[in-house]
Protein backbone atom coordinates (compact mmCIF):
# COMPACT_ATOMS: atom_id res chain seq x y z
CA UNK A 1 0.00 0.00 0.00
CA UNK A 2 1.21 3.44 -0.85
CA UNK A 3 3.00 5.31 1.92
CA UNK A 4 2.63 8.64 0.26
CA UNK A 5 3.61 9.96 -3.13
CA UNK A 6 6.23 12.31 -4.47
CA UNK A 7 7.12 13.71 -7.87
CA UNK A 8 10.46 13.38 -9.61
CA UNK A 9 11.41 15.14 -12.82
CA UNK A 10 12.12 12.88 -15.79
CA UNK A 11 15.79 13.88 -15.67
CA UNK A 12 16.09 12.21 -12.28
CA UNK A 13 15.15 8.78 -13.54
CA UNK A 14 18.89 8.65 -14.15
CA UNK A 15 19.50 9.39 -10.46
CA UNK A 16 17.09 6.65 -9.46
CA UNK A 17 18.97 4.10 -11.55
CA UNK A 18 22.35 5.31 -10.33
CA UNK A 19 21.18 5.13 -6.73
CA UNK A 20 20.00 1.58 -7.17
CA UNK A 21 23.34 0.67 -8.70
CA UNK A 22 25.19 2.37 -5.88
CA UNK A 23 23.13 0.34 -3.40
CA UNK A 24 24.51 -2.79 -5.03
CA UNK A 25 21.60 -3.71 -7.25
CA UNK A 26 21.92 -5.00 -10.77
CA UNK A 27 19.27 -2.87 -12.45
CA UNK A 28 17.16 -4.73 -15.00
CA UNK A 29 14.73 -2.84 -17.17
CA UNK A 30 13.25 -2.43 -20.63
CA UNK A 31 15.54 -1.80 -23.58
CA UNK A 32 15.27 -2.12 -27.35
CA UNK A 33 16.86 -5.18 -28.90
CA UNK A 34 16.12 -7.08 -32.11
CA UNK A 35 13.07 -5.00 -32.87
CA UNK A 36 11.36 -5.57 -29.58
CA UNK A 37 11.41 -4.31 -26.02
CA UNK A 38 13.16 -6.80 -23.78
CA UNK A 39 14.44 -6.80 -20.21
CA UNK A 40 18.18 -6.53 -19.77
CA UNK A 41 20.70 -4.98 -17.46
CA UNK A 42 20.66 -1.18 -17.71
CA UNK A 43 23.86 0.79 -17.38
CA UNK A 44 21.96 4.08 -17.32
CA UNK A 45 18.72 5.72 -18.34
CA UNK A 46 20.18 5.97 -21.83
CA UNK A 47 19.39 2.27 -22.32
CA UNK A 48 15.67 2.82 -21.84
CA UNK A 49 13.35 2.80 -24.89
CA UNK A 50 12.77 6.57 -24.92
CA UNK A 51 10.39 7.67 -27.66
CA UNK A 52 9.37 4.14 -28.63
CA UNK A 53 6.02 2.45 -28.56
CA UNK A 54 4.80 -0.90 -29.74
CA UNK A 55 2.02 -2.05 -32.00
CA UNK A 56 0.58 -5.37 -30.90
CA UNK A 57 -2.09 -7.64 -32.28
CA UNK A 58 -2.61 -11.39 -32.39
CA UNK A 59 0.58 -12.75 -33.97
CA UNK A 60 1.90 -9.24 -34.55
CA UNK A 61 4.50 -7.04 -32.83
CA UNK A 62 6.20 -3.93 -34.23
CA UNK A 63 8.10 -1.08 -32.62
CA UNK A 64 7.12 2.42 -33.71
CA UNK A 65 8.58 5.83 -33.02
CA UNK A 66 6.44 8.06 -30.84
CA UNK A 67 6.20 11.80 -31.31
CA UNK A 68 7.11 12.41 -27.67
CA UNK A 69 9.90 11.42 -25.30
CA UNK A 70 7.89 8.91 -23.27
CA UNK A 71 10.12 6.42 -21.45
CA UNK A 72 7.48 3.78 -20.74
CA UNK A 73 4.95 4.33 -23.52
CA UNK A 74 4.46 0.71 -24.55
CA UNK A 75 2.94 -2.55 -23.32
CA UNK A 76 4.88 -5.62 -22.21
CA UNK A 77 7.23 -7.31 -24.66
CA UNK A 78 8.22 -10.96 -25.02
CA UNK A 79 10.29 -11.05 -21.82
CA UNK A 80 8.96 -11.40 -18.32
CA UNK A 81 10.63 -11.31 -14.93
CA UNK A 82 10.63 -15.07 -14.53
CA UNK A 83 13.80 -15.16 -16.63
CA UNK A 84 15.61 -13.52 -13.71
CA UNK A 85 13.73 -15.14 -10.83
CA UNK A 86 13.86 -18.62 -12.36
CA UNK A 87 17.10 -18.49 -14.34
CA UNK A 88 17.24 -20.99 -17.17
CA UNK A 89 19.41 -22.91 -17.80
CA UNK A 90 20.62 -23.21 -14.22
CA UNK A 91 23.15 -25.65 -12.76
CA UNK A 92 21.52 -27.21 -9.69
CA UNK A 93 24.68 -29.01 -8.63
CA UNK A 94 27.97 -30.33 -9.89
CA UNK A 95 29.60 -33.54 -8.71
CA UNK A 96 32.86 -35.37 -9.27
CA UNK A 97 33.55 -39.08 -9.15
CA UNK A 98 36.91 -39.60 -7.47
CA UNK A 99 39.21 -42.59 -7.02
CA UNK A 100 37.45 -43.74 -3.86
CA UNK A 101 34.07 -43.02 -5.37
CA UNK A 102 33.31 -40.06 -3.15
CA UNK A 103 31.38 -37.15 -4.58
CA UNK A 104 32.26 -33.53 -4.19
CA UNK A 105 29.70 -30.90 -4.81
CA UNK A 106 30.29 -27.38 -5.97
CA UNK A 107 28.17 -24.95 -4.03
CA UNK A 108 26.09 -22.71 -6.28
CA UNK A 109 27.16 -19.09 -6.70
CA UNK A 110 25.45 -16.34 -4.73
CA UNK A 111 22.21 -15.04 -6.20
CA UNK A 112 22.43 -11.63 -7.86
CA UNK A 113 20.69 -8.71 -6.19
CA UNK A 114 18.26 -7.44 -8.76
CA UNK A 115 16.35 -4.21 -9.04
CA UNK A 116 13.53 -4.63 -11.55
CA UNK A 117 12.61 -1.34 -13.21
CA UNK A 118 9.37 -1.21 -15.15
CA UNK A 119 7.36 -4.04 -13.60
CA UNK A 120 3.80 -3.63 -14.84
CA UNK A 121 0.79 -4.49 -12.73
CA UNK A 122 0.12 -7.74 -14.61
CA UNK A 123 3.70 -8.80 -14.01
CA UNK A 124 3.53 -7.93 -10.33
CA UNK A 125 0.59 -10.31 -10.15
CA UNK A 126 2.55 -12.87 -12.13
CA UNK A 127 5.36 -12.68 -9.56
CA UNK A 128 2.78 -13.13 -6.82
CA UNK A 129 1.46 -16.19 -8.66
CA UNK A 130 4.98 -17.60 -8.83
CA UNK A 131 5.42 -16.89 -5.11
CA UNK A 132 2.46 -19.14 -4.37
CA UNK A 133 3.90 -21.94 -6.42
CA UNK A 134 7.56 -21.92 -5.51
CA UNK A 135 7.53 -20.37 -2.04
CA UNK A 136 4.29 -21.55 -0.47
CA UNK A 137 4.15 -25.19 -1.58
CA UNK A 138 5.40 -28.37 0.06
CA UNK A 139 8.92 -27.55 -1.10
CA UNK A 140 10.55 -24.17 -1.48
CA UNK A 141 12.69 -23.49 -4.52
CA UNK A 142 15.81 -21.90 -3.00
CA UNK A 143 16.96 -20.46 -6.32
CA UNK A 144 13.80 -18.41 -6.72
CA UNK A 145 13.58 -17.62 -3.01
CA UNK A 146 17.02 -15.96 -2.85
CA UNK A 147 16.41 -13.80 -5.90
CA UNK A 148 12.89 -12.89 -4.92
CA UNK A 149 13.77 -11.91 -1.35
CA UNK A 150 16.40 -9.47 -2.50
CA UNK A 151 14.66 -8.02 -5.53
CA UNK A 152 13.85 -4.31 -5.42
CA UNK A 153 10.75 -3.64 -7.48
CA UNK A 154 10.08 -0.41 -9.31
CA UNK A 155 6.67 -0.67 -10.88
CA UNK A 156 5.55 1.42 -13.81
CA UNK A 157 1.83 2.07 -13.99
CA UNK A 158 0.45 1.46 -17.46
CA UNK A 159 -0.23 4.77 -19.21
CA UNK A 160 0.39 6.54 -22.49
CA UNK A 161 -0.24 3.61 -24.84
CA UNK A 162 -3.18 1.63 -26.19
CA UNK A 163 -3.11 -1.93 -24.78
CA UNK A 164 -4.20 -4.03 -27.75
CA UNK A 165 -3.74 -7.63 -26.59
CA UNK A 166 -4.04 -6.89 -22.88
CA UNK A 167 -6.95 -7.98 -20.69
CA UNK A 168 -5.73 -7.27 -17.17
CA UNK A 169 -9.02 -5.57 -16.33
CA UNK A 170 -10.82 -8.90 -16.90
CA UNK A 171 -8.32 -10.78 -14.74
CA UNK A 172 -8.41 -8.21 -11.95
CA UNK A 173 -4.67 -7.69 -12.27
CA UNK A 174 -4.43 -4.14 -13.59
CA UNK A 175 -3.75 -1.76 -15.08
CA UNK A 176 -3.25 -0.04 -11.72
CA UNK A 177 -0.72 -1.65 -9.39
CA UNK A 178 -1.76 -1.18 -5.78
CA UNK A 179 0.70 -3.31 -3.81
CA UNK A 180 3.78 -5.47 -4.06
CA UNK A 181 6.28 -2.83 -5.18
CA UNK A 182 8.91 -0.73 -3.47
CA UNK A 183 8.22 2.24 -5.74
CA UNK A 184 5.59 2.76 -8.43
CA UNK A 185 6.05 5.34 -11.16
CA UNK A 186 3.34 6.93 -13.23
CA UNK A 187 4.73 8.80 -16.20
CA UNK A 188 3.10 12.16 -16.92
CA UNK A 189 3.72 13.63 -20.34
CA UNK A 190 2.63 17.20 -20.38
CA UNK A 191 4.18 19.78 -22.66
CA UNK A 192 7.19 21.10 -20.83
CA UNK A 193 6.48 18.97 -17.78
CA UNK A 194 7.74 15.44 -18.21
CA UNK A 195 7.61 13.96 -14.72
CA UNK A 196 6.88 10.86 -12.68
CA UNK A 197 4.50 10.53 -9.81
CA UNK A 198 6.17 8.08 -7.45
CA UNK A 199 4.12 6.05 -4.97
CA UNK A 200 6.16 4.71 -2.08
CA UNK A 201 5.32 1.10 -1.35
CA UNK A 202 7.92 0.13 1.22
CA UNK A 203 10.45 1.32 3.75
CA UNK A 204 13.18 0.34 1.31
CA UNK A 205 11.51 2.45 -1.36
CA UNK A 206 11.30 5.44 0.94
CA UNK A 207 14.97 5.11 1.91
CA UNK A 208 16.04 4.98 -1.71
CA UNK A 209 14.09 8.13 -2.57
CA UNK A 210 16.12 10.01 0.01
CA UNK A 211 18.91 10.02 -2.61
CA UNK A 212 16.71 11.12 -5.53
CA UNK A 213 15.67 14.77 -5.84
CA UNK A 214 11.91 15.00 -5.49
CA UNK A 215 9.09 17.21 -4.32
CA UNK A 216 5.82 16.32 -2.59
CA UNK A 217 3.02 15.29 -4.95
CA UNK A 218 0.22 17.81 -5.33
CA UNK A 219 -3.40 16.91 -5.78
CA UNK A 220 -3.15 17.85 -9.47
CA UNK A 221 -0.24 15.41 -9.98
CA UNK A 222 -2.15 12.58 -8.37
CA UNK A 223 -5.27 13.39 -10.37
CA UNK A 224 -3.32 13.42 -13.63
CA UNK A 225 -1.73 10.07 -12.76
CA UNK A 226 -5.06 8.45 -11.96
CA UNK A 227 -6.53 9.75 -15.19
CA UNK A 228 -3.65 8.40 -17.25
CA UNK A 229 -4.05 4.91 -15.72
CA UNK A 230 -7.85 5.05 -16.00
CA UNK A 231 -7.53 5.84 -19.70
CA UNK A 232 -5.51 2.63 -20.16
CA UNK A 233 -8.24 0.65 -18.41
CA UNK A 234 -10.87 1.92 -20.84
CA UNK A 235 -8.70 1.02 -23.85
CA UNK A 236 -8.25 -2.70 -23.11
CA UNK A 237 -8.05 -4.52 -26.44
CA UNK A 238 -9.31 -7.84 -25.09
CA UNK A 239 -11.65 -9.13 -22.44
CA UNK A 240 -12.23 -12.50 -20.83
CA UNK A 241 -15.30 -13.39 -18.81
CA UNK A 242 -13.93 -15.31 -15.82
CA UNK A 243 -17.31 -15.85 -14.24
CA UNK A 244 -17.79 -19.63 -13.98
CA UNK A 245 -14.85 -20.13 -16.31
CA UNK A 246 -13.18 -22.94 -14.36
CA UNK A 247 -16.31 -25.03 -14.07
CA UNK A 248 -17.19 -24.45 -17.72
CA UNK A 249 -13.78 -25.62 -18.91
CA UNK A 250 -13.93 -28.71 -16.67
CA UNK A 251 -17.33 -29.49 -18.16
CA UNK A 252 -16.04 -29.05 -21.73
CA UNK A 253 -12.99 -31.33 -21.84
CA UNK A 254 -14.35 -32.88 -25.05
CA UNK A 255 -15.57 -29.63 -26.65
CA UNK A 256 -15.21 -29.70 -30.47
CA UNK A 257 -13.33 -26.40 -30.32
CA UNK A 258 -10.26 -28.26 -28.97
CA UNK A 259 -10.04 -29.98 -32.34
CA UNK A 260 -10.52 -26.70 -34.13
CA UNK A 261 -7.72 -24.94 -32.26
CA UNK A 262 -5.47 -27.97 -32.66
CA UNK A 263 -5.71 -27.51 -36.43
CA UNK A 264 -4.21 -24.03 -36.07
CA UNK A 265 -1.80 -24.57 -33.16
CA UNK A 266 1.79 -25.30 -34.24
CA UNK A 267 2.62 -26.63 -30.72
CA UNK A 268 5.70 -24.42 -30.84
CA UNK A 269 5.41 -23.44 -27.19
CA UNK A 270 5.97 -19.70 -27.77
CA UNK A 271 3.02 -19.01 -25.48
CA UNK A 272 4.64 -20.89 -22.59
CA UNK A 273 7.95 -19.13 -23.07
CA UNK A 274 6.49 -15.63 -23.08
CA UNK A 275 3.99 -16.40 -20.32
CA UNK A 276 5.08 -14.69 -17.09
CA UNK A 277 3.69 -17.52 -14.92
CA UNK A 278 4.61 -20.66 -16.89
CA UNK A 279 7.03 -22.30 -14.48
CA UNK A 280 7.52 -25.87 -15.74
CA UNK A 281 11.10 -27.03 -15.99
CA UNK A 282 13.00 -30.13 -16.97
CA UNK A 283 16.29 -31.41 -15.62
CA UNK A 284 19.15 -32.90 -17.55
CA UNK A 285 22.39 -34.45 -16.35
CA UNK A 286 25.47 -33.53 -18.38
CA UNK A 287 28.97 -34.92 -18.04
CA UNK A 288 32.36 -33.79 -19.21
CA UNK A 289 34.31 -35.96 -21.65
CA UNK A 290 35.89 -37.99 -18.87
CA UNK A 291 32.48 -38.92 -17.54
CA UNK A 292 33.73 -38.15 -14.05
CA UNK A 293 32.27 -34.70 -13.65
CA UNK A 294 28.55 -34.30 -13.98
CA UNK A 295 26.15 -31.45 -13.50
CA UNK A 296 22.40 -31.33 -13.24
CA UNK A 297 20.92 -28.50 -15.26
CA UNK A 298 17.38 -27.32 -15.04
CA UNK A 299 15.70 -25.27 -17.74
CA UNK A 300 12.25 -24.13 -18.69
CA UNK A 301 10.23 -26.82 -20.36
CA UNK A 302 7.24 -26.58 -22.67
CA UNK A 303 4.07 -28.63 -22.21
CA UNK A 304 3.48 -28.49 -25.97
CA UNK A 305 6.04 -31.21 -26.66
CA UNK A 306 5.26 -34.92 -26.58
CA UNK A 307 8.45 -35.37 -24.54
CA UNK A 308 6.88 -33.39 -21.71
CA UNK A 309 4.75 -36.36 -20.63
CA UNK A 310 7.05 -39.12 -21.87
CA UNK A 311 7.06 -41.96 -19.38
CA UNK A 312 8.36 -45.50 -19.70
CA UNK A 313 8.27 -45.56 -23.48
CA UNK A 314 5.17 -43.52 -24.23
CA UNK A 315 3.82 -39.99 -24.15
CA UNK A 316 0.59 -39.31 -22.31
CA UNK A 317 -0.39 -36.42 -24.60
CA UNK A 318 0.15 -37.43 -28.22
CA UNK A 319 -2.22 -35.06 -29.99
CA UNK A 320 -1.85 -31.30 -30.42
CA UNK A 321 -5.42 -31.10 -29.13
CA UNK A 322 -4.43 -32.69 -25.82
CA UNK A 323 -1.37 -30.48 -25.45
CA UNK A 324 -3.18 -27.22 -26.17
CA UNK A 325 -5.98 -28.36 -23.85
CA UNK A 326 -3.47 -28.99 -21.08
CA UNK A 327 -2.08 -25.49 -21.37
CA UNK A 328 -5.40 -23.63 -21.41
CA UNK A 329 -6.96 -25.90 -18.82
CA UNK A 330 -3.96 -25.31 -16.57
CA UNK A 331 -3.99 -21.53 -16.97
CA UNK A 332 -7.72 -21.08 -16.47
CA UNK A 333 -8.99 -24.06 -14.47
CA UNK A 334 -6.63 -26.54 -12.80
CA UNK A 335 -4.33 -23.71 -11.66
CA UNK A 336 -7.22 -22.39 -9.57
CA UNK A 337 -7.53 -25.75 -7.80
CA UNK A 338 -3.78 -26.03 -7.36
CA UNK A 339 -2.90 -22.52 -6.25
CA UNK A 340 -6.12 -20.62 -5.59
CA UNK A 341 -5.60 -18.21 -8.48
CA UNK A 342 -5.69 -18.19 -12.26
CA UNK A 343 -2.43 -18.96 -14.01
CA UNK A 344 -3.23 -16.09 -16.37
CA UNK A 345 -2.71 -12.41 -15.51
CA UNK A 346 -4.09 -10.98 -18.76
CA UNK A 347 -0.76 -9.64 -20.05
CA UNK A 348 -1.61 -10.71 -23.61
CA UNK A 349 1.88 -11.95 -24.45
CA UNK A 350 0.66 -15.38 -25.61
CA UNK A 351 -1.71 -13.68 -28.05
CA UNK A 352 0.91 -11.36 -29.51
CA UNK A 353 3.67 -13.96 -29.78
CA UNK A 354 1.62 -16.84 -31.13
CA UNK A 355 2.92 -17.22 -34.69
CA UNK A 356 -0.58 -18.06 -35.91
CA UNK A 357 -2.36 -15.55 -33.71
CA UNK A 358 -4.35 -17.91 -31.46
CA UNK A 359 -6.09 -15.70 -28.93
CA UNK A 360 -6.68 -17.25 -25.51
CA UNK A 361 -9.57 -14.88 -24.80
CA UNK A 362 -11.35 -15.94 -27.98
CA UNK A 363 -10.68 -19.65 -27.42
CA UNK A 364 -11.71 -19.53 -23.77
CA UNK A 365 -14.93 -17.75 -24.65
CA UNK A 366 -15.88 -20.50 -27.08
CA UNK A 367 -14.55 -23.35 -24.95
CA UNK A 368 -16.51 -22.20 -21.94
CA UNK A 369 -19.69 -21.73 -23.93
CA UNK A 370 -22.22 -24.51 -24.12
CA UNK A 371 -20.88 -27.39 -26.14
CA UNK A 372 -20.85 -26.74 -29.84
CA UNK A 373 -22.54 -23.37 -29.47
CA UNK A 374 -19.64 -21.68 -31.26
CA UNK A 375 -20.29 -18.36 -29.58
CA UNK A 376 -18.54 -15.31 -30.95
CA UNK A 377 -16.91 -12.94 -28.54
CA UNK A 378 -17.77 -9.41 -29.49
Partner 1 sequence: MTAPGPVLRSLVDPFHPHPYRVVARRRETSDTVTLRLCPATDPYLPGSPGQFMMLTAFGIGEVPISLSRVPDRSGMLEHTIRAVGSVTRHLVALRPGDWVGVRGPFGTGWPLDLARGRDVLLVAGGLGFAPLRSALEAILERRQDYRRVTVLLGARTPSDVLYRQILPRWQRRNDVDLRVTVDRPDERWRGQVGVVPQLVSQVAPSFEPTETVAFICGPDVMMRFTVRELQRHGVSDDRIFLSLERNMQCGVGLCGHCQLGPFFLCKDGPVLPYSRLMPFYEVREL
Asked whether 319 and 337 are in contact (CB, 8 A), the reply is no
Closest CA to 283 of 95, 90, 47: 90
In three-state secondary structure terms, 119 is strand
**Choice from 11, 44, 64, 93 touching partner 1 (CB under 8 A):** 93
Closest C-alpha to 58, from 366, 358, 319: 358
Q: Does 37 bind partner 1 (CB under 8 A)?
A: no
- Binding residues for partner 1, total number by CB under 8 A: 53
Min CB(207)–partner 1 separation in Å? 31
The strand pairing partners of 199, in sequence order, are 5, 184
- Rounded Cα distance, 340 and 6, in Å: 35
Our finding on whether 359 is near partner 1 (CB under 8 A) is no
User: Which residue in 300, 307, 309 sits closest to 281, CA to CA?
Assistant: 300
Is 283 a binder of partner 1 (CB under 8 A)?
yes
Rule CB under 8 A: say whether 82 interacts with partner 1.
Answer: no
Q: In whole angstroms, give the CA distance from residue 184 to residue 118.
A: 9
Position among 282, 297, 357, 377 found at the interface with partner 1 (CB under 8 A)? 282
Continuous segment of H or E residues that includes residue 270 = helix 270-274
Q: How far is the CB of 338 from partner 1 (least distance, A)?
A: 6
Choice from 103, 179, 356, 375 touching partner 1 (CB under 8 A): 103
- Label residue 244 left, alpha or beta by phi (over 0 means left) and psi (-120 to 50 means alpha): left
What DSSP assignment string belongs to 96-160? EE-TT--EEEPPPPPPP-EEEEEE-HHHHHHHHHHHHHHTSSSS--HHHHHHHHH-EEEEE---S
State how beta strands 152-156 and 114-119 pair.
parallel
Q: Minimal distance in Å, beta carbon 364 to partner 1?
A: 17
**Footprint (CB under 8 A) of partner 1, residues 243-272:** 250, 253-254
Residues 106-135 that bind partner 1 (CB under 8 A): 133-134
Binding of partner 1 by 316 (CB under 8 A): yes
Piece of 7-15, 17-25, 121-129, 273-281 that binds partner 1 (CB under 8 A): 273-281
Output 203 or 284, the one with its CB closest to partner 1.
Answer: 284
Among 263, 312, 376, 378, binds partner 1 (CB under 8 A): 312
Does residue 193 bind partner 1 (CB under 8 A)?
Answer: no
| Site residues (vs partner 1, CB under 8 A) | 92-93, 95, 97, 101, 103, 105, 133-134, 137-142, 250, 253-254, 279-285, 287, 291-292, 294, 296, 298, 301, 303, 308-313, 316-319, 321-322, 325-326, 329-330, 333-334, 337-338
Amino acid sequence: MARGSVVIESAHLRTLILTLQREGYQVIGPTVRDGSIVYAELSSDGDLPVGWTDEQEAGHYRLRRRDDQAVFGYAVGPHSWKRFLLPSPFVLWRARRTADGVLEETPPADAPRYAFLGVRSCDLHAIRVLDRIVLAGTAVDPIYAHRREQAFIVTVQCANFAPRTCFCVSMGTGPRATAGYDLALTELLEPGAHRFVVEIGSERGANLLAHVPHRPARAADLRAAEQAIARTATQMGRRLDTNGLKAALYANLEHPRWNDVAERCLTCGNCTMVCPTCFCFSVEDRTDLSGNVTERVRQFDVCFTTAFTYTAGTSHRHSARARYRQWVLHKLATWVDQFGTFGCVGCGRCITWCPVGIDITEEAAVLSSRRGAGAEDT
